[in-house]
Amino acid sequence: MVAPTIVPRADHRISRRDIDPDALKVLYRLHQSGHAGYLVGGGVRDLLLGVRPKDFDVGTDAHPGQIKKLFRNCWIIGRRFRLAHVRFGPKTIEVATFRRQMPPEPQSPEAEAAPHAGDNTFGTPEEDAFRRDFTVNALFYDIATFSVIDYVGGLNDLESRVIRSIGDPNVRFLEDPVRMLRAVVLAARVDFTIDPPVLAAIDRHREAITLAAPARLMEETFKILRSGASERIFRSLAEVGLLEHIAPPILTAPAQFWSTLERLDAYRRRFASVPDTLTNPILVGSVLVPLGALASRPRNVAETGKPDRPRGITLGLLPFPRRDVESLRNLLALQRRLLDLGAPPRALRSLLHRHILPEAISWLEIHGDHPDAVEHWRAVMAAGQTQQSVEGEQQPSGDRPGRRRRRRRRGGRRRHPRPAAE
Protein backbone atom coordinates (compact mmCIF):
# COMPACT_ATOMS: atom_id res chain seq x y z
CA MET A 1 0.00 0.00 0.00
CA VAL A 2 1.19 3.50 -0.87
CA ALA A 3 0.04 6.40 1.28
CA PRO A 4 -1.37 8.95 -1.18
CA THR A 5 -0.81 12.66 -1.09
CA ILE A 6 -4.21 14.28 -0.46
CA VAL A 7 -4.62 17.96 -1.22
CA PRO A 8 -7.75 19.48 0.39
CA ARG A 9 -10.03 21.87 -1.49
CA ALA A 10 -8.49 24.96 0.06
CA ASP A 11 -5.03 24.09 -1.33
CA HIS A 12 -5.75 23.45 -5.03
CA ARG A 13 -7.31 25.44 -7.86
CA ILE A 14 -9.97 23.00 -9.12
CA SER A 15 -13.47 24.46 -8.87
CA ARG A 16 -16.71 22.66 -9.70
CA ARG A 17 -17.57 25.69 -11.85
CA ASP A 18 -14.86 24.53 -14.27
CA ILE A 19 -16.12 20.93 -14.49
CA ASP A 20 -18.61 19.99 -17.19
CA PRO A 21 -22.10 20.00 -15.59
CA ASP A 22 -22.96 16.61 -17.08
CA ALA A 23 -19.77 15.12 -15.67
CA LEU A 24 -20.80 16.56 -12.29
CA LYS A 25 -24.20 14.86 -12.61
CA VAL A 26 -22.45 11.52 -13.10
CA LEU A 27 -20.07 12.10 -10.18
CA TYR A 28 -22.85 13.14 -7.83
CA ARG A 29 -25.11 10.21 -8.69
CA LEU A 30 -22.29 7.72 -8.16
CA HIS A 31 -21.50 9.30 -4.80
CA GLN A 32 -25.14 9.44 -3.71
CA SER A 33 -25.50 5.74 -4.60
CA GLY A 34 -22.66 4.76 -2.29
CA HIS A 35 -19.92 4.46 -4.92
CA ALA A 36 -16.66 6.34 -5.35
CA GLY A 37 -16.86 9.08 -7.95
CA TYR A 38 -13.52 10.46 -9.14
CA LEU A 39 -12.64 12.78 -11.98
CA VAL A 40 -9.56 11.08 -13.43
CA GLY A 41 -6.72 11.43 -15.91
CA GLY A 42 -5.98 14.35 -18.19
CA GLY A 43 -9.04 16.31 -17.05
CA VAL A 44 -7.59 16.69 -13.54
CA ARG A 45 -4.17 17.56 -14.97
CA ASP A 46 -5.60 20.29 -17.21
CA LEU A 47 -7.78 21.78 -14.47
CA LEU A 48 -4.75 22.04 -12.19
CA LEU A 49 -2.89 23.77 -15.03
CA GLY A 50 -5.76 26.20 -15.56
CA VAL A 51 -6.57 24.72 -18.98
CA ARG A 52 -10.05 23.77 -20.19
CA PRO A 53 -10.03 19.93 -20.51
CA LYS A 54 -11.13 18.42 -23.79
CA ASP A 55 -12.57 15.39 -21.96
CA PHE A 56 -14.01 14.76 -18.51
CA ASP A 57 -13.50 11.08 -17.65
CA VAL A 58 -14.80 9.45 -14.50
CA GLY A 59 -13.41 6.59 -12.41
CA THR A 60 -15.45 4.58 -9.92
CA ASP A 61 -15.53 1.37 -7.91
CA ALA A 62 -18.97 0.57 -9.40
CA HIS A 63 -18.88 -2.25 -11.93
CA PRO A 64 -20.18 -1.64 -15.48
CA GLY A 65 -23.49 -3.37 -14.76
CA GLN A 66 -24.02 -1.25 -11.64
CA ILE A 67 -23.28 1.91 -13.60
CA LYS A 68 -25.81 0.97 -16.25
CA LYS A 69 -28.51 0.54 -13.59
CA LEU A 70 -27.85 4.08 -12.33
CA PHE A 71 -28.13 5.77 -15.73
CA ARG A 72 -30.83 5.12 -18.29
CA ASN A 73 -28.72 6.97 -20.86
CA CYS A 74 -25.81 4.53 -20.41
CA TRP A 75 -24.29 2.09 -22.90
CA ILE A 76 -21.62 -0.50 -22.11
CA ILE A 77 -18.98 -0.65 -24.83
CA GLY A 78 -15.78 -2.53 -25.54
CA ARG A 79 -14.90 -6.20 -25.81
CA ARG A 80 -11.54 -6.17 -24.06
CA PHE A 81 -12.11 -3.12 -21.86
CA ARG A 82 -15.66 -2.82 -20.59
CA LEU A 83 -16.47 0.88 -20.29
CA ALA A 84 -19.68 2.77 -19.58
CA HIS A 85 -20.62 5.66 -21.84
CA VAL A 86 -23.19 7.99 -20.32
CA ARG A 87 -24.63 10.13 -23.10
CA PHE A 88 -26.06 13.61 -22.86
CA GLY A 89 -27.18 14.48 -26.38
CA PRO A 90 -24.06 14.47 -28.59
CA LYS A 91 -21.78 14.50 -25.52
CA THR A 92 -20.41 11.35 -23.87
CA ILE A 93 -19.01 11.03 -20.35
CA GLU A 94 -16.80 7.95 -20.12
CA VAL A 95 -17.04 6.06 -16.83
CA ALA A 96 -14.46 3.34 -16.12
CA THR A 97 -14.27 0.97 -13.18
CA PHE A 98 -10.94 1.06 -11.31
CA ARG A 99 -8.64 -1.66 -12.64
CA ARG A 100 -5.41 -3.18 -11.51
CA GLN A 101 -2.30 -3.67 -13.60
CA MET A 102 -1.97 -7.20 -14.99
CA PRO A 103 1.20 -8.83 -16.37
CA PRO A 104 1.40 -8.47 -20.16
CA GLU A 105 0.22 -11.52 -22.11
CA PRO A 106 1.63 -12.86 -25.39
CA GLN A 107 -0.48 -11.43 -28.19
CA SER A 108 -1.85 -13.25 -31.21
CA PRO A 109 -4.61 -12.44 -33.71
CA GLU A 110 -6.91 -14.87 -31.89
CA ALA A 111 -6.07 -13.37 -28.51
CA GLU A 112 -6.54 -9.85 -29.82
CA ALA A 113 -10.04 -10.66 -31.05
CA ALA A 114 -11.20 -12.33 -27.85
CA PRO A 115 -12.05 -10.65 -24.54
CA HIS A 116 -9.25 -10.81 -21.97
CA ALA A 117 -10.24 -11.73 -18.47
CA GLY A 118 -7.34 -9.71 -17.06
CA ASP A 119 -8.46 -6.55 -18.82
CA ASN A 120 -11.57 -6.43 -16.66
CA THR A 121 -9.93 -7.37 -13.37
CA PHE A 122 -11.16 -4.57 -11.19
CA GLY A 123 -9.09 -3.01 -8.44
CA THR A 124 -8.67 -0.07 -6.10
CA PRO A 125 -7.97 3.59 -6.93
CA GLU A 126 -4.32 3.00 -6.01
CA GLU A 127 -4.01 0.03 -8.36
CA ASP A 128 -5.76 2.00 -11.08
CA ALA A 129 -3.32 4.89 -10.66
CA PHE A 130 -0.27 2.64 -11.11
CA ARG A 131 -1.59 1.15 -14.35
CA ARG A 132 -1.77 4.57 -16.06
CA ASP A 133 0.91 5.84 -18.41
CA PHE A 134 2.41 9.04 -16.93
CA THR A 135 2.38 10.48 -13.44
CA VAL A 136 0.63 13.70 -14.43
CA ASN A 137 -2.21 11.61 -15.90
CA ALA A 138 -2.78 9.61 -12.72
CA LEU A 139 -4.28 12.31 -10.49
CA PHE A 140 -7.80 11.97 -9.05
CA TYR A 141 -10.38 14.54 -7.95
CA ASP A 142 -12.79 13.11 -5.35
CA ILE A 143 -16.30 14.54 -5.56
CA ALA A 144 -17.02 13.40 -1.98
CA THR A 145 -14.32 15.59 -0.39
CA PHE A 146 -13.39 17.94 -3.29
CA SER A 147 -9.76 16.90 -2.72
CA VAL A 148 -7.03 15.89 -5.17
CA ILE A 149 -5.48 12.45 -4.61
CA ASP A 150 -1.99 11.55 -5.84
CA TYR A 151 -0.48 8.05 -5.52
CA VAL A 152 2.41 8.39 -7.99
CA GLY A 153 4.08 11.78 -7.48
CA GLY A 154 2.15 13.46 -10.26
CA LEU A 155 1.70 16.71 -8.35
CA ASN A 156 5.47 17.17 -8.04
CA ASP A 157 5.95 16.43 -11.75
CA LEU A 158 3.15 18.82 -12.60
CA GLU A 159 4.92 21.55 -10.65
CA SER A 160 8.27 20.62 -12.28
CA ARG A 161 6.55 20.46 -15.69
CA VAL A 162 8.00 17.07 -16.60
CA ILE A 163 6.53 13.98 -18.30
CA ARG A 164 7.58 10.93 -16.28
CA SER A 165 6.57 7.32 -16.86
CA ILE A 166 4.85 5.24 -14.18
CA GLY A 167 7.17 2.26 -13.99
CA ASP A 168 9.99 1.36 -16.39
CA PRO A 169 9.31 3.18 -19.68
CA ASN A 170 11.06 0.40 -21.63
CA VAL A 171 8.46 -2.06 -20.36
CA ARG A 172 5.51 0.31 -20.62
CA PHE A 173 6.29 1.30 -24.22
CA LEU A 174 6.59 -2.31 -25.36
CA GLU A 175 3.25 -3.05 -23.69
CA ASP A 176 1.68 -0.25 -25.74
CA PRO A 177 3.88 1.58 -28.30
CA VAL A 178 1.30 4.37 -28.67
CA ARG A 179 2.46 5.58 -25.23
CA MET A 180 5.64 6.87 -26.90
CA LEU A 181 3.51 9.04 -29.19
CA ARG A 182 1.40 10.27 -26.30
CA ALA A 183 4.45 11.25 -24.26
CA VAL A 184 5.72 13.50 -27.04
CA VAL A 185 2.27 14.91 -27.84
CA LEU A 186 1.54 15.75 -24.20
CA ALA A 187 4.92 17.40 -23.64
CA ALA A 188 4.55 19.54 -26.76
CA ARG A 189 0.93 20.46 -26.06
CA VAL A 190 1.43 21.68 -22.47
CA ASP A 191 5.08 22.77 -22.97
CA PHE A 192 6.61 20.23 -20.55
CA THR A 193 10.00 18.55 -20.74
CA ILE A 194 10.31 14.79 -21.14
CA ASP A 195 12.10 12.79 -18.43
CA PRO A 196 15.49 11.55 -19.78
CA PRO A 197 14.68 7.84 -19.18
CA VAL A 198 11.49 8.30 -21.19
CA LEU A 199 13.42 9.94 -24.05
CA ALA A 200 16.00 7.13 -23.96
CA ALA A 201 13.24 4.50 -24.11
CA ILE A 202 11.63 6.25 -27.08
CA ASP A 203 14.97 6.32 -28.88
CA ARG A 204 15.47 2.62 -28.16
CA HIS A 205 11.99 1.40 -29.10
CA ARG A 206 10.70 3.97 -31.60
CA GLU A 207 10.46 1.42 -34.42
CA ALA A 208 7.90 -0.49 -32.31
CA ILE A 209 5.36 2.23 -33.19
CA THR A 210 4.86 0.33 -36.47
CA LEU A 211 3.20 -2.45 -34.42
CA ALA A 212 0.38 -0.12 -33.34
CA ALA A 213 -2.97 -0.46 -35.10
CA PRO A 214 -3.24 2.10 -37.94
CA ALA A 215 -6.74 3.05 -36.77
CA ARG A 216 -5.35 4.02 -33.34
CA LEU A 217 -2.60 6.09 -34.92
CA MET A 218 -5.18 7.84 -37.11
CA GLU A 219 -7.29 8.58 -34.03
CA GLU A 220 -4.26 10.06 -32.26
CA THR A 221 -3.48 12.14 -35.36
CA PHE A 222 -6.98 13.66 -35.33
CA LYS A 223 -6.45 14.57 -31.66
CA ILE A 224 -3.16 16.25 -32.57
CA LEU A 225 -4.80 18.27 -35.35
CA ARG A 226 -7.56 19.42 -32.97
CA SER A 227 -5.14 20.37 -30.18
CA GLY A 228 -4.18 23.88 -31.26
CA ALA A 229 -0.51 22.84 -31.15
CA SER A 230 -0.24 20.52 -34.15
CA GLU A 231 2.70 22.34 -35.75
CA ARG A 232 4.76 22.10 -32.57
CA ILE A 233 3.73 18.47 -31.97
CA PHE A 234 4.69 17.27 -35.45
CA ARG A 235 8.07 18.95 -35.17
CA SER A 236 8.63 17.25 -31.79
CA LEU A 237 7.67 13.87 -33.25
CA ALA A 238 10.26 14.45 -35.98
CA GLU A 239 12.94 15.34 -33.42
CA VAL A 240 12.55 12.10 -31.44
CA GLY A 241 12.45 9.92 -34.56
CA LEU A 242 8.82 8.75 -34.36
CA LEU A 243 7.58 10.65 -37.40
CA GLU A 244 9.91 8.80 -39.76
CA HIS A 245 8.04 5.59 -38.89
CA ILE A 246 4.51 7.07 -38.71
CA ALA A 247 4.40 9.45 -41.71
CA PRO A 248 7.77 9.78 -43.50
CA PRO A 249 6.55 12.24 -46.18
CA ILE A 250 6.10 14.92 -43.52
CA LEU A 251 9.88 14.90 -42.88
CA THR A 252 10.44 16.46 -46.32
CA ALA A 253 7.29 18.59 -46.26
CA PRO A 254 7.47 22.03 -47.89
CA ALA A 255 7.21 25.21 -45.86
CA GLN A 256 3.56 25.45 -46.91
CA PHE A 257 2.77 22.37 -44.80
CA TRP A 258 4.01 24.01 -41.61
CA SER A 259 2.30 27.32 -42.36
CA THR A 260 -0.96 25.42 -43.00
CA LEU A 261 -0.70 23.80 -39.57
CA GLU A 262 0.01 27.21 -38.03
CA ARG A 263 -3.22 28.54 -39.54
CA LEU A 264 -5.14 25.53 -38.24
CA ASP A 265 -3.68 26.01 -34.74
CA ALA A 266 -4.46 29.73 -34.73
CA TYR A 267 -8.08 29.01 -35.64
CA ARG A 268 -8.42 26.31 -32.96
CA ARG A 269 -7.00 28.57 -30.23
CA ARG A 270 -9.79 31.08 -30.82
CA PHE A 271 -12.17 28.70 -29.04
CA ALA A 272 -12.26 27.37 -25.49
CA SER A 273 -13.04 23.87 -26.80
CA VAL A 274 -12.97 22.17 -30.20
CA PRO A 275 -15.58 23.96 -32.39
CA ASP A 276 -18.08 22.04 -34.50
CA THR A 277 -16.64 23.77 -37.58
CA LEU A 278 -13.35 21.88 -37.19
CA THR A 279 -14.54 18.75 -38.98
CA ASN A 280 -12.52 15.71 -40.03
CA PRO A 281 -12.38 16.68 -43.75
CA ILE A 282 -10.84 20.04 -42.79
CA LEU A 283 -8.28 18.29 -40.57
CA VAL A 284 -7.49 15.80 -43.33
CA GLY A 285 -7.07 18.61 -45.84
CA SER A 286 -4.72 20.50 -43.54
CA VAL A 287 -2.29 17.60 -43.93
CA LEU A 288 -2.90 16.26 -47.43
CA VAL A 289 -3.37 19.47 -49.44
CA PRO A 290 0.01 21.10 -48.66
CA LEU A 291 1.72 17.74 -49.22
CA GLY A 292 0.14 17.47 -52.67
CA ALA A 293 -1.42 14.13 -51.75
CA LEU A 294 -4.72 14.94 -53.52
CA ALA A 295 -3.15 15.23 -56.96
CA SER A 296 -4.67 11.95 -58.16
CA ARG A 297 -8.40 12.47 -58.69
CA PRO A 298 -10.62 9.36 -58.84
CA ARG A 299 -11.26 8.37 -62.45
CA ASN A 300 -14.66 9.26 -63.87
CA VAL A 301 -17.24 7.19 -65.72
CA ALA A 302 -16.03 8.30 -69.15
CA GLU A 303 -12.55 6.94 -68.46
CA THR A 304 -13.48 3.62 -66.91
CA GLY A 305 -17.03 2.87 -68.03
CA LYS A 306 -18.22 2.75 -64.44
CA PRO A 307 -18.04 5.12 -61.49
CA ASP A 308 -15.08 4.71 -59.13
CA ARG A 309 -15.76 4.23 -55.47
CA PRO A 310 -14.28 7.10 -53.45
CA ARG A 311 -10.82 6.12 -52.25
CA GLY A 312 -8.97 6.92 -49.08
CA ILE A 313 -5.34 7.97 -48.92
CA THR A 314 -2.61 6.33 -46.85
CA LEU A 315 0.27 8.47 -45.63
CA GLY A 316 2.89 6.21 -44.09
CA LEU A 317 0.99 4.30 -41.42
CA LEU A 318 -1.93 6.72 -41.41
CA PRO A 319 -5.09 5.60 -43.27
CA PHE A 320 -7.06 8.79 -43.95
CA PRO A 321 -10.73 7.70 -44.13
CA ARG A 322 -12.30 7.45 -47.56
CA ARG A 323 -15.42 9.41 -46.63
CA ASP A 324 -13.34 12.29 -45.23
CA VAL A 325 -11.13 12.43 -48.33
CA GLU A 326 -14.19 12.55 -50.60
CA SER A 327 -15.82 15.27 -48.49
CA LEU A 328 -12.55 17.20 -48.67
CA ARG A 329 -12.53 17.00 -52.47
CA ASN A 330 -16.10 18.31 -52.55
CA LEU A 331 -15.45 21.28 -50.26
CA LEU A 332 -12.31 22.20 -52.21
CA ALA A 333 -14.33 22.12 -55.43
CA LEU A 334 -16.60 24.84 -54.00
CA GLN A 335 -13.83 27.29 -53.16
CA ARG A 336 -13.78 29.04 -56.54
CA ARG A 337 -17.57 29.50 -56.48
CA LEU A 338 -17.40 30.95 -52.96
CA LEU A 339 -14.98 33.61 -54.20
CA ASP A 340 -17.14 34.52 -57.22
CA LEU A 341 -19.34 37.03 -55.41
CA GLY A 342 -20.35 38.61 -58.70
CA ALA A 343 -22.22 35.50 -59.83
CA PRO A 344 -26.00 35.80 -60.41
CA PRO A 345 -28.03 35.64 -57.18
CA ARG A 346 -29.75 32.50 -58.36
CA ALA A 347 -26.41 30.71 -58.73
CA LEU A 348 -25.32 31.87 -55.30
CA ARG A 349 -28.57 30.76 -53.69
CA SER A 350 -28.19 27.32 -55.23
CA LEU A 351 -25.13 26.76 -53.05
CA LEU A 352 -27.27 27.00 -49.92
CA HIS A 353 -28.64 23.55 -50.68
CA ARG A 354 -25.17 21.97 -50.67
CA HIS A 355 -24.70 20.16 -47.36
CA ILE A 356 -20.94 20.64 -47.63
CA LEU A 357 -21.27 24.47 -47.73
CA PRO A 358 -20.61 25.12 -43.98
CA GLU A 359 -17.40 23.09 -44.14
CA ALA A 360 -16.36 24.83 -47.35
CA ILE A 361 -16.81 28.22 -45.67
CA SER A 362 -14.82 27.06 -42.64
CA TRP A 363 -11.99 25.92 -44.92
CA LEU A 364 -12.03 29.34 -46.61
CA GLU A 365 -11.93 31.04 -43.20
CA ILE A 366 -8.98 28.94 -41.96
CA HIS A 367 -6.85 28.59 -45.07
CA GLY A 368 -8.00 31.40 -47.34
CA ASP A 369 -7.17 35.08 -47.26
CA HIS A 370 -10.63 36.40 -48.11
CA PRO A 371 -12.37 37.56 -44.93
CA ASP A 372 -14.86 39.57 -47.02
CA ALA A 373 -16.02 36.40 -48.78
CA VAL A 374 -16.30 34.52 -45.49
CA GLU A 375 -18.37 37.34 -43.97
CA HIS A 376 -20.59 37.44 -47.06
CA TRP A 377 -21.35 33.72 -46.97
CA ARG A 378 -21.95 33.69 -43.23
CA ALA A 379 -24.55 36.42 -43.78
CA VAL A 380 -26.10 34.56 -46.74
CA MET A 381 -26.40 31.38 -44.70
CA ALA A 382 -27.93 33.22 -41.73
CA ALA A 383 -30.45 34.96 -44.00
CA GLY A 384 -31.34 31.68 -45.68
CA GLN A 385 -31.92 29.95 -42.36
CA THR A 386 -34.09 32.84 -41.17
CA GLN A 387 -36.15 32.74 -44.37
CA GLN A 388 -36.69 28.98 -44.07
CA SER A 389 -37.79 29.42 -40.47
CA VAL A 390 -40.30 32.14 -41.41
CA GLU A 391 -41.69 30.12 -44.30
CA GLY A 392 -42.04 27.08 -42.06
CA GLU A 393 -44.06 29.07 -39.51
CA GLN A 394 -46.32 30.64 -42.14
CA GLN A 395 -47.02 27.48 -44.10
CA PRO A 396 -50.09 25.44 -43.01
CA SER A 397 -49.03 22.32 -41.22
CA GLY A 398 -50.75 20.07 -43.75
CA ASP A 399 -48.75 21.60 -46.63
CA ARG A 400 -45.30 21.57 -45.03
CA PRO A 401 -42.70 19.75 -47.09
CA GLY A 402 -41.69 16.38 -45.77
CA ARG A 403 -45.20 15.52 -44.54
CA ARG A 404 -47.34 13.36 -46.80
CA ARG A 405 -50.98 14.33 -47.04
CA ARG A 406 -53.37 11.53 -46.28
CA ARG A 407 -55.67 10.64 -49.16
CA ARG A 408 -59.36 10.90 -48.42
CA ARG A 409 -61.31 7.75 -48.68
CA ARG A 410 -64.16 8.09 -51.15
CA GLY A 411 -67.49 7.76 -49.42
CA GLY A 412 -70.63 5.98 -50.63
CA ARG A 413 -71.24 2.57 -52.03
CA ARG A 414 -69.20 1.04 -54.79
CA ARG A 415 -70.46 1.80 -58.28
CA HIS A 416 -70.04 -1.82 -59.31
CA PRO A 417 -70.75 -3.97 -56.30
CA ARG A 418 -69.40 -7.47 -56.33
CA PRO A 419 -71.96 -10.10 -57.31
CA ALA A 420 -73.42 -11.99 -54.43
CA ALA A 421 -72.12 -15.45 -53.86
CA GLU A 422 -74.42 -18.14 -55.19
- Tell me how far apart the terminal alpha carbons of the chain are, to the nearest angstrom: 94
Q: At what angle do helices 178-190 and 230-239 cross, to 10 degrees?
A: 130
Annotate 270-302 with b (16+ C-beta within 10 A) or e (fewer): eeeeeeeebbbbbbbbbbbbbbebeeeeeeeee
Kindly state the helix (H) or strand (E) to which residue 158 belongs, with its residue range: helix 154-160
Annotate 131-164 with b (16+ C-beta within 10 A) or e (fewer): bbbbbbbbbbbbbeeebbbbbbbbbebbeeebbb
Q: Give the contacts of 363 (CB within 8 A, at least 6 positions apart).
A: 282, 285, 331, 332, 335
* 8-state DSSP, 87: E
What are the phi and psi torsion angles at 122 (to 5°)?
Answer: -80, 155
Positions marked catalytic? 55, 57, 133
Q: CA separation (Å) from 21 to 88, 91, 135, 143, 408?
A: 10, 11, 26, 13, 50
Tell me the C-alpha distance between 31 and 19, whole Å. 16
